[in-house]
Structure formats: C-alpha cells, structure tokens
Amino acid sequence: DGGITQSPKYLFRKEGQNVTLSCEQNLNHDAMYWYRQDPGQGLRLIYYSQIVNDFQKGDIAEGYSVSREKKESFPLTVTSAQKNPTAFYLCASTPTQGIYGYTFGSGTRLTVV
Amino acid sequence: QQQVKQSPQSLIVQKGGISIINCAYENTAFDYFPWYQQFPGKGPALLIAIRPDVSEKKEGRFTISFNKSAKQFSLHIMDSQPGDSATYFCAALDSVSGLTFGKGTHLIIQP
C-alpha cells in the first residue's frame, strides 16, 4: 500500500535537546511538507521541499531544520531553539508543488518534559 | 494575516441533523477548495473538494456549497451520524503558496 509513514508516533524530549522526526513516503511524490498542529490553530506550514536537495521555509520555520537527501525521505529536526515544541507534527506529500491531492501521515506527537 | 477563516470552532449536532461549517477566504488566486476530516491521533484525510467554477458538489451525505462572489464556501453533512464526530478543516490552494488551512471545527454528533 502506498502512503506516508511517520515515526515515532509519540516522542518525548528534554528541554535543550534536538530531536528528529521521520517521514517516509512510497508514493513517488516530488513535493513533501511538514505541518505543525496546535489545538485551535489549524495546520501551519513549517518547511516544504519540491525536489531532492532543495527546501523552503514555511510560515513558522524558526527553530526547525530539514533535509531532503532522498526523494522518499524528509526528516524534520526540532532544535533547542524552538521555544514551544510541544505539538502534533504532520508530514504530507503531493505529486508536485501546488498540485492538489495532499496525502498526510498519521503524525508524531512531541512532548517536552 | 489569516487567509482562510473557519467557523464555528466547535459544533454539537443531534444524530440525524444537518452539520454546517463555513469558511471564507481572501486570496483570489486560490483555485481549489478541499475539506479534510481528522480523527484524534490521525492525520487529516481528504473528504471532498471543489473547484471555483462549480457552485455545489455532493458526495453521499457531504455537500460543498461555493459562492465565488462572496469568497465563501461551506460543508454540509446531512443525516449526521456519531461516526462523523471529528475535526474538520477547510483549506484553499494556490499553485505558489500551496495549501492554506482554516483553524478547524470540532464536530460532535450526539446520539
């Protein structure tokens, strides 16, 4: 079955630590996205990538970093510079940028302890 | 600047009733308007979508009404069922900035 796999489902981080969230897709999609979801805030775009080795900042990129070394993979690192990292993180992909047909993963819930 | 405004934030409907969620947008470059359904702990899933050249689209119990001149669109859920209880997001897409989401509506269908 084609889809997006996010891992882990739950992640706990101590203050001051960096953590990396995994996102893998087998849909052969070119574009991938990271969103952050907070209660009552909807989904806000963190970073997106249209092709391998290229990515752009979204609306709330501060304190986050990404890489796109492979078409299938788009990991997100939440750095210690992110002041309020506790949230639900969602990865998505589309065949190409700006094209409808967004497929979402099941998310990773990050909690700072 | 919130480009897609969604209301209400929460909604309680009796089983069998009609659930109505409204969205308004500002950017006239948007050319695709999907609705997503999200259950707790899961990612959003596409429910139904409409292009601006159509005023209404119906799929089963779900209908989108679209008013291009008012820059508004809405989701109607007919004969609402407890299994419809979820968070619903409207969204709007343009080819440059991608998908912009509303803040979501938490829908509860009471049996």
Q: What is the mean pLDDT of each run of 10 residues along chain B (111 residues)?
A: 88 98 94 94 93 94 96 98 97 85 96 91
More confident residue, B54 or A99: B54
CA distance B24 to B89: 12
pLDDT recorded at residue A9: 95
DSSP letters spanning B26-51: --TT--BEEEEEE-TTS--EEEEEE-
Kindly list the residues from chain B whose CB atom is less than 8 angstroms away from the CB atom of residue A101. 46
Q: Which helix (H) or strand (E) holds B99?
A: strand B98-101
**A81 φ/ψ angles, rounded to the nearest 5 degrees:** -75, -10
Which residue, among A55, A99, A102, would best test binding to B if mutated, counting the most B CBs under 10 Å from its CB? Answer: A102
For residue B3, give the 3-state DSSP assignment.
coil
Enumerate the β-bridge partners of residue A37. A43, A88
Strands B105-110, B10-14: pairing kind: parallel
Overall average pLDDT of the A20-49 stretch: 93
pLDDT recorded at residue A93: 94
Enumerate the β-bridge partners of residue A23. A6
pLDDT digits (tens, 9 = 90+) for A65-92: 999 999 999 999 999 888 899 999 999 9
**CB within 8 Å: B44 and A42:** no
Residues 6+ apart with CB under 8 A from B16: B79, B80
Six-digit token string for B75: 């989701």
**Distance from B52 to chain A by nearest Cα, in Å?**
14
